[in-house]
Amino acid sequence: MWWIVVKTLIASGIIVAVSEVSQRLPRLGAILLTLPIISLIAFVMSWQQHHDLPAISRLARETLVLVPLGLPFFVPLAFAERFGLDFWPAFITGVAMATVTIGLWFWFAPSS
């Protein structure tokens, strides 16, 4: 149980730190967001807890495929000002776009 609390504190700490840095230095915030920090931590924690390399390899392969499929999320936010969108419409459009691309992958992709 304590391990779940530790994982939660680490993940929430990273989210808060990136959010705070992004307010002051947007480019540094973007760099931190593009780093696979959560993936790195998740792989290490999974290894420490289970020592299951095949499971970690499967997770890494799925992540490798899904990261590009999630990129459409950023398009409406990146161009919100240009198209006169407020935050929530751009955010919801991005979520919808990523949901479609990821959903199509799950629908048509071969099972792993």
Give, for all 112 residues of the chain, the pLDDT tens digit: 888 898 889 889 988 998 999 999 988 888 888 878 888 888 998 999 999 999 999 989 988 988 999 999 999 999 999 999 999 999 999 999 999 999 999 899 887 6
Regarding pTM above 0.85, the answer is no
Burial class (CB in 10 A: 0-12, 13-18, 19+), 43: middle
